[in-house]
Structure 1
Amino acid sequence: MPFSGKYELASQENFEPFMKAIGLPDDLIQKGKDIKSISEIEETGDNFKVTVMTGSKVLINTFTIGQEAELETITGEKVKAVVQREGSNKLKVSLKGIESVTELVDENTIVNTMTLGSIVYKRTSKRM
């Protein structure tokens, strides 16, 4: 199944504790918790371009599976990381101690799970 498409955030779990743990200020957490973000994924072979629009903030990451890339985190920090593919429907990356797994659970649903220590933040997005 290809990841390519546009997805809208449908639900999220543990947003506030996770954002606090990564050091986001309270005012940004309060502002961000009710915004429905839109993710657009372009997949061409092993090359990906992921654009996440949250309100007026736009985060764009491009990477090739298995190769080091500079990725921007939720906090705006740029870090070098390698995205790995597991099977045909799962992408994994470790960013500054955060384990991120993005899984295409069916043709219309993407689940992104970010784990930092004991805090698990889960985002479910539906294809638009």
Structure 2
Amino acid sequence: MTFSGKYELESQENYEQFLDAVGLSNAKTDHKVITEVVQDGNSFTWTQSIPNWTWSNKFIVGQECELTTMTGSKFTAPVTMEGGKILIQFPQYHLTAEMVEDKLIMTCITPGEKGVTFKRVSKRI
């Protein structure tokens, strides 16, 4: 299944706890996040936007890629796909993204015993 499309936030769980866990408690917003994914085979451009802020990453599944965190820090990590799910290890959390029917589901898990699981469900628009 292709990820390509434009998606609007439908629901999310543990958003504020996740931002606190990754040190972004001052970034809390109640704006509707828009996610746009352009997929060409294994090549992706993944962009998330709210008013006055955009965060974008380009990556190729199966390769080590230079990526950017939500705060603008750059890092290098392999991007993999297993069972139709994109997997990326960010410095402060592990991201899994998948398509379920016509919804984009992103799950971010912070490490440790008190890890936080943040889940965002977005609908295609």
TM-score (norm 2): 0.92
Alignment size in residue pairs: 122
Aligned 1:60-79 pairs, distance under 5 A = 60-79=56-75
Aligned 1:13-92 pairs, distance under 5 A = 13-26=13-26, 28-29=27-28, 32=29, 34-87=30-83, 89-92=84-87
1:69-106: per-residue Cα shift (whole Å, max 9, x none)?
A: 1111122221111110112x310011114111001011
1:112 aligns with 2:106: yes
Instruction: Give the Cα separation in 1 of the matches to 2:92 and 2:20.
Output: 15
RMSD: 1.1
SS at match of 1:41: strand
Instruction: Give the Cα separation in 1 of the matches to 2:2 and 2:63.
Output: 20
Moved beyond 6 Å, runs of 4+: none
Identity %: 39
Instruction: Give the Cα separation in 2 of the matches to 1:60 and 1:97.
Output: 17
Query: For residue 118 of structure 2, what is the aligned residue in structure 1?
Result: 121
* Aligned counterpart for 1:96 among listed residues 91, 97, 112: 91
1:4 aligns with 2:1: no
Instruction: Give the Cα separation in 1 of the matches to 2:120 and 2:72.
Output: 19
TM-score (norm 1): 0.90
- The aligned amino acid for 2:6 is K
